[in-house]
């Protein structure tokens, strides 16, 4: 990196690659290009580590885990008798605080510097191809950044605010507030039955809130019905009042600082806090994209992350809007970092597309995206559902069963679970797998490997699950399929 301190006016830094956003995805993109021998500068106006570390994955999972651990102890005779109390809200919140490093990013900054990545704290705007202006946080004045090879947008996503009468100007929680709150609301109203709304409903119900969840479709409607029915039963057991297939007409504040929500059926719900978790959209506005003739709502990009119509601009992670998950965003970032490095070296020509499954492309985005809903019970799903596979033109079959093996019976008394595999009948390989039940998230990676590796079912039959583990469900599925 060369810093020209001699020229008058704004500071100017020239480097190989500039990455906007130091969330988990931006960190990985910058890390990969540096590992590949190029220079990189990360630009970040807020905390290094982004949403996942401080307001999403980590705090939400830290809020959920104590309730799952308690329920696990309660679900086995012998340990059940030892459980005499409820969750200690204060300890749960303090443990959550430790997982967010008390919203202090010193540790992550240390990693960035130790990795050899340049860091600028400020907000960047594109001025032209490969050229950016940064308003620095420390009043050091504006900075001009020039990228010799590429600019990577890893600016994340912002919450979608639904057009509900009264919401504008009201004091309500988004997922940021719901994952970082230090007080337990007595009554919590949750709008949005996606993963965030469902997980946070259960987390706060178990910590002590009385929760009502309002979903305009079904809860978790992207997942197979038997799986979501198990989650809904889990929510009901925690006292969550789940209202499905109903929309909100209006919200309004009450004199005691609470909130009321009018539903389409004329009923009115009252609570102390409202959480709005109705999805997220790529954070692309204010980046100067319009000035370059690019779309500031959604950028079309190829599997290396290269933005259509450019040979220098890449988009990854939530900002790309393909898969809004940390692990998949980091995977995209590793591919993009490798592609930028290869193109800079000339080993990948121009904007030419590398072969599928090579290190420079995120091919798995199309076939094997793993996702876990960390409720209790959990849903763990990878690849395609039967409906998605058929819509993609796959000659697909499904085999499903109740998850009932020696390992599950040992795991919890009255264990209830469900499993499904979706098979491409022409190629006799798996294209989708879903598990639902307590503790199933750790089963998922085996399914991800089977789908990514296109393991023939005849060979998968020889992958013998240990006895007595929940993984024996694999054997039951394959037997039911006909092997
Ligand atoms: C409640 C909740 C729970 C979740 N749980 C999980 C989970 O368990 N597992 C999972 O895989 N995913 C989970 N997700 C999704 C996950 O949080 C995101 O997919 C992930 O954080 C995206 O990472 P990112 O780096 O793309 O974006 P971010 O982490 O949002 O980082 C983007 C960064 O860009 C910066 N930025 C923005 N504009 C500029 C600019 N102009 N210049 C410089 N920097 C800029 C921002 O300040 C920010 O730090 C969850 C999401 C939510 C809301
Ligand atoms: N465990 C995890 O991996 C995890 C956990 C939380 C969030 N996330 C990710 O973060 C992203 C955001 O999560 P999310 O749950 O907010 O988004 P989502 O897209 O999963 O769900 C949003 C929900 O809000 C509903 N909705 C939209 N507008 C509405 C309205 N006007 N009224 C009522 N409901 C409305 C939608 O029908 C949908 O069910 C997701 O893409 C998700 O993958 C992942």
pLDDT, tens digit, 9 for 90 and up, residues 291-346: 999 999 999 999 999 999 999 999 999 999 999 999 999 999 999 999 999 999 99
- Domain hosting residue 208, numbered range: 175-278
**Is 388 in the same domain as 288?**
no
- Specify if 220 maps to a domain: yes
What are 247-292's pLDDT values in tens digits? 999 999 999 999 999 999 999 999 999 999 999 999 999 999 999 9
pLDDT, position 61: 98
Burial class for 206, CB neighbours closer than 10 Å (0-12, 13-18, 19+): buried
Q: Three-class SS of residue 477? A: helix
Q: Is 155 annotated as a binding residue?
A: yes
In the reported structure, the alpha carbon of residue 474 is separated from the centroid of ligand 1 by a whole-number distance in angstroms of 34
Examine the fold and report which residue of 233, 254, 278 is the final residue of a domain before the chain moves on: 278
pLDDT, position 4 = 43
116 labelled as ligand-binding? no
Domain assignment present for residue 246? The answer is yes
pLDDT over 90 at 139, yes or no: no
Three-class DSSP category at 99: helix
Q: How many domains does the chain have?
A: 3
- CA 271, 196, 54, 71 torsion-angle sign: positive
Secondary structure class of 410 (helix, strand, coil): helix
pLDDT, mean over the chain: 96
Provide the pLDDT for residue 8: 46
282, β-bridge pairs: 157
Distance, CA of 145 to CA of 123 (rounded, Å): 12
Find out whether 337 is annotated in a ligand binding site.
Answer: no
State pTM to two decimals. Answer: 0.96
Instruction: Point out the domain boundary residue: 365, 390, 409.
Output: 365
Which atom of ligand 1 approaches the CA of 318 most closely? 26
Q: Decide if 81 is inside a domain.
A: no
Among all chains, which residue has been given the structure tokens 């580590």? Answer: 49
Q: CA triplet 62, 188, 104: central angle to 5 degrees?
A: 35
Same domain, 148 and 18: yes
Position 140 scores a pLDDT of: 76
Is residue 399 a known part of a binding site? no
Query: Is there a single domain that holds both residue 148 and residue 201?
Result: no
Confidence of residue 71 (pLDDT cuts 50, 70, 90): very high
Q: Residue range 88-113: average pLDDT?
A: 98
Asked whether 275 and 188 are in contact (CB, 8 A), the reply is: yes
Q: Cα–Cα distance between 253 and 273 in angstroms, integer?
A: 10
pLDDT digits (tens, 9 = 90+) for 42-62: 999 999 999 999 999 999 999
Q: What would the two tokens of residue 111 be? A: 């990693």
CA Rg value for the chain: 24
In a domain? residue 257: yes
**From the CA of 160, how far away is ligand 2's center (Å)?**
9
Q: Could you tell me if residue 68 is inside a domain?
A: no
For 445-455, the pLDDT digits (tens) are: 999 999 999 99
Tokens found for residue 179:
């994952």
Q: What average pLDDT does this structure show over 220-231? A: 97
Closest CA to 392 of 370, 366, 356: 366
ipTM above 0.95, yes or no: yes
Instruction: Name the residue with the closest Cα to ligand 1, atom 21.
Output: 52
Contact 385, 432 (CB under 8 A): yes
CA of 191 to the centre of ligand 1 (A): 21
Boundary residue ending a domain (365, 394, 410): 365
Distance CA 312, CA 351 (A): 9
How many whole angstroms from 124 Cα to the centroid of ligand 1?
Answer: 17
């Amino acid at each position: 990196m060369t810093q020209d301190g001699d020229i008058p006016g704004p500071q100017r830094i020239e480097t190989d690659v500039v990455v906007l956003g130091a969330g988990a995805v931006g960190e990985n993109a910058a890390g990969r290009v540096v590992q590949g021998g190029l220079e990189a500068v990360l630009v970040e106006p807020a905390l290094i580590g982004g949403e996942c570390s401080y307001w999403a994955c980590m705090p939400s999972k830290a809020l959920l885990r104590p309730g799952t651990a308690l329920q696990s102890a309660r679900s086995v005779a012998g340990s059940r008798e030892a459980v005499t109390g409820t969750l200690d809200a204060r300890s749960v919140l303090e443990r959550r605080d430790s997982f967010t490093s008390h919203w202090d990013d010193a540790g992550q900054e240390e990693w960035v510097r130790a990795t050899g990545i340049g860091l600028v704290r400020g907000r960047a705007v594109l001025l032209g191809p490969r050229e950016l202006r940064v308003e620095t946080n420390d009043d050091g004045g504006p900075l001009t950044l020039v990228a010799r090879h590429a600019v990577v947008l890893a600016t994340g996503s912002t919450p979608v605010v639904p057009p509900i009468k009264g919401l504008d100007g009201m004091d309500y929680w988004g997922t940021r507030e719901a994952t970082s709150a230090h007080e337990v609301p007595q009554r919590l109203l949750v709008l949005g039955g996606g993963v965030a709304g469902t997980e946070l409903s259960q987390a706060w119900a178990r910590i002590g809130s009385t929760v009502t969840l309002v979903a305009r479709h079904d809860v978790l409607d992207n997942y197979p019905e038997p799986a979501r029915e198990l989650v809904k039963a889990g929510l009901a057991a925690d006292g969550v009042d789940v209202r499905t297939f109903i929309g909100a007409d209006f919200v309004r504040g009450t004199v005691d600082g609470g909130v009321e929500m009018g539903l389409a059926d004329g009923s009115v719900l009252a609570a102390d806090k409202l959480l709005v978790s109705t999805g997220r959209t790529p954070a692309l506005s204010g980046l100067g994209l319009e000035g370059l003739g690019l779309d500031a709502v959604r950028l079309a990009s190829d599997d290396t992350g290269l933005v259509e119509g450019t040979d220098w601009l890449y988009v990854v992670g939530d900002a790309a809007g393909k898969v809004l998950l940390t692990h998949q965003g980091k995977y995209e970032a590793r591919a993009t970092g490798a592609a930028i490095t290869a193109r800079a070296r000339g080993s990948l020509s121009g904007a030419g597309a590398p072969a599928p499954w090579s290190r420079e492309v995120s091919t798995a985005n199309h076939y094997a995206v793993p996702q876990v809903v960390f409720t209790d019970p959990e849903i763990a799903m990878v690849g395609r559902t039967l409906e998605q596979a058929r819509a993609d033109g796959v000659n697909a079959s499904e085999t499903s069963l109740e998850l009932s093996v020696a390992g599950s019976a040992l795991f919890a008394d009255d264990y209830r679970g469900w499993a499904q595999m979706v098979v491409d009948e022409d190629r006799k390989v798996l294209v989708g797998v879903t598990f639902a039940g307590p503790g199933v998230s750790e089963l998922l990676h085996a399914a991800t490997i089977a789908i990514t590796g296109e393991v023939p079912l005849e060979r998968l039959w020889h992958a013998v699950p240990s006895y007595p583990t929940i993984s024996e469900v694999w054997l039951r599925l394959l037997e039911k399929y006909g092997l």
